[in-house]
């Protein structure tokens, strides 16, 4: 049996230069790789840090805008006031033989006159006093052509324009 041996290349200078060149090339290429990779990672880390700062700044700006928006909405809601009062009698056809169009108009205007105190009031206070409005209208009887009529609110919508639908009946 013969022994396997490594060929004696270490004694030849050409092979020594080749292997030493490979070792030096490997070390140099590893250093170049580390430098390029490090520069790339540093650039990416810098970009990520800048983006985190920008995101935090934008979140802060969004929060400021949302706070301002909420405050502005609150101020605008407080500024909303009643601009107009609309009254409509819904069952006027039932009393057509007793009431003409002018009488119905006068009844509607009388109800509006009772509610003039609501004009230029803020919506919140008008909404809170809706029961009082109902009592003011329903507890009053109106006299037209020697007949007394009682009013009953069918619907009431409160916004910048207060719309009230009323039914009349003989008292």
Top pLDDT among 19 and 37 is at 37
Residue 5 within a domain: no
Whether residue 156 sits in one domain with residue 106: yes
End-to-end CA distance of the chain: 135
Q: Are residues 73 and 126 in the same domain?
A: no
CA max distance for the chain: 143
pLDDT at 146 over 90: no
Give yes or no for a contact between 168 and 107, defined as CB atoms under 8 angstroms apart.
Answer: yes
User: Do 42 and 107 have their domain in common?
Assistant: no
* Domains contained in the chain, number: 2
Planar angle of CA 152, 168, 96, nearest 5 degrees: 165
How far apart CA 88 and CA 124 sit, in angstroms, is 23
Same domain, 88 and 72: no
In this structure, the answer to whether residues 60 and 136 fall within a common structural domain is no
Residue 162 near residue 156, CB atoms below 8 Å: yes
Please indicate, yes or no, if residue 132 is contained in any of the structural domains: yes
Kindly report which listed range (2-6, 10-14, 36-40, 77-81) carries the lowest average pLDDT score: 2-6
Kind and range of the H or E run holding 14 = helix 13-79
pTM of the model: 0.56
pLDDT of residue 88: 93
| Angstrom distance (rounded) from CA 34 to CA 22 | 18
pLDDT surpassing 90 at residue 26:
yes
- Tell whether 22 is covered by a domain: yes
Q: Is residue 45 included in any domain, yes or no?
A: yes
Boundary of a domain, candidates 25, 45, 78:
78
Q: Domain residues for 68?
A: 10-78
Tens digit of each residue's pLDDT (9 = 90 or more) over 80-139:
788 899 999 998 888 887 788 888 898 899 999 989 888 888 888 888 999 999 998 999
């Amino acid at each position: 049996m013969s022994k396997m041996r490594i060929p004696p290349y270490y004694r030849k200078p050409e092979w020594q230069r080749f292997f030493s060149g490979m070792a030096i090339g490997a070390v140099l290429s590893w250093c170049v790789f580390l430098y390029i990779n490090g520069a790339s990672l540093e650039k990416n880390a810098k970009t990520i840090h800048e983006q985190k700062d920008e995101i935090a700044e934008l979140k802060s700006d969004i929060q400021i805008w949302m706070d301002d928006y909420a405050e502005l909405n609150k101020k605008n809601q407080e500024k909303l006031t009643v601009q107009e009062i609309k009254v409509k009698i819904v069952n006027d056809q039932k009393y057509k033989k007793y009431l003409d169009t002018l009488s119905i108009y006068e009844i509607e205007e009388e109800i509006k006159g009772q509610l003039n105190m609501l004009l230029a009031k803020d919506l919140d206070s008008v909404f809170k006093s809706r029961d009082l409005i109902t009592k003011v209208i329903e507890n009053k009887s109106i006299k037209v052509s020697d007949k007394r009529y009682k009013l009953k609110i069918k619907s009431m919508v409160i916004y910048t324009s207060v719309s009230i639908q009323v039914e009349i009946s003989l008292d």
